[in-house]
Amino acid sequence: PSAVIVAIDGPSGTGKSSTSKAVAAKLGLRYLDTGAQYRAITWWMITNGVDTEDPHAIAVAAGKPAIVSGTDPCAPTITVDGLDASGPIRTKEVTSKVSAVSAVPEVRTRITELQRTIAADADGGIVVEGRDIGTTVLPDADLKVFLTASAEARAARRSGELKGKEATDLAATKEALIKRDAADSGRKTSPLAKAGDAVEVDTTELTLDQVIECVVTLVEEKR
Ligand code: C5P
């Protein structure tokens, strides 16, 4: 089978990461979590004292951190200036600031370049998940999937993931998630959006295995 490029977009809590990793592992493809890259640059801004409310300061610093993503779907990694950032990028602080940082055009240009290079170097094909992959980063992807789910289902999934890590409450998780999606959908530069040629899959009533199966079938039809 030829190298296939798969773009998986959608708001938070729709199962994008779990689905993308499993599909890539099943089909022998590489995997890229683009949200992790935006989280990584946000974490770098925070730890280096850049005011994440100041788009100009963010723009000036956007080129500074070295961000390297490992693309093994079974063990994805991300380093910032050589430091393992997989843990720190998942904190509430990063989650609450990532939308503002990722709305800055200089940040998007920088991260989009990294993404295109990784996709072009992925010999056997790759699954790339994010918000603007089908619309902006890889408009010529072989398959574009847009995952959706009700706000209730998304909040319940996200709060299940967070359990044990940080104190969570369902209402607060839902509110934070809706706020982040509104910011991501409302920004000027490459907002969260479904590409015209994307296949929309509503995961509200589906199990993770069903979503994986559905996407695997869609990829196989393209190979
Ligand atoms: O997918 P995840 O929740 O980790 O993404 C974190 C944030 O990164 C999103 O809320 C969004 O602000 C940003 N993001 C983006 N474009 C992408 C992927 C993520 O702006 N392709």
pTM score of the predicted model: 0.96
Taking CA atoms only, the protein residue closest to ligand 1 atom 10 is: 99
Asked if residue 49 is part of any domain, the answer here is yes
Asked if residue 164 is part of any domain, the answer here is yes
Asked if residue 195 is part of any domain, the answer here is yes
Asked if residue 207 is part of any domain, the answer here is yes
Output the CA 133–ligand 1 centroid distance in Å.
11
Pocket flag, ligand 1, residue 14 (CB < 6 Å): no
Residue 169 has what pLDDT? 82
Q: Name which of 13, 59, 40, 1 is nearest 154 in CA terms.
A: 13
Residue 76 has what pLDDT? 97
If one counts the domains in the chain, the total is: 1
Residue 179 has what pLDDT? 95
Residue 164 has what pLDDT? 64
Residue 161 has what pLDDT? 79
pLDDT digits (tens, 9 = 90+) for 41-95: 999 999 999 999 999 999 999 999 999 999 999 999 999 999 999 999 999 999 9
Q: How far apart are CA 50 and CA 41, in angstroms?
A: 11
Residue 94 has what pLDDT? 98
Q: Which atom of ligand 1 is nearest to the CA of 129?
A: 21
Residue 131 has what pLDDT? 98
Question: Which residues of the chain fall short of a pLDDT of 70?
Answer: 1, 163-168
Q: CATH number for the domain including 95?
A: 3.40.50.300
Residue 63 has what pLDDT? 98
Asked if residue 55 is part of any domain, the answer here is yes
Output the CA 33–ligand 1 centroid distance in Å.
9
Residue 27 has what pLDDT? 98
Pocket flag, ligand 1, residue 12 (CB < 6 Å): yes
Domain encompassing residue 53: 4-218
Share of the chain above pLDDT 90, in %: 90
**CA dihedral over 217, 27, 160, 79, signed as positive or negative:** negative
DSSP 3-state of 14: coil
Question: Does the annotation list 14 as a binding residue?
Answer: yes
Pocket flag, ligand 1, residue 98 (CB < 6 Å): yes
Pocket flag, ligand 1, residue 35 (CB < 6 Å): yes
Q: Is the ipTM of this complex over 0.85?
A: yes
Question: Does the annotation list 194 as a binding residue?
Answer: no
Substitution site in 94, 131, 146, 158 for ligand 1 pocket (most atoms within 8 Å of beta carbon): 131
Asked if residue 65 is part of any domain, the answer here is yes
Residue 166 has what pLDDT? 64
Residue 153 has what pLDDT? 94
Q: How far apart are CA 27 and CA 41, in angstroms?
A: 30
Where would I find the beta strands (DSSP E) of 34-94? 67-70, 77-80, 83-84
Residue 167 has what pLDDT? 60
Asked if residue 197 is part of any domain, the answer here is yes
Asked if residue 223 is part of any domain, the answer here is no
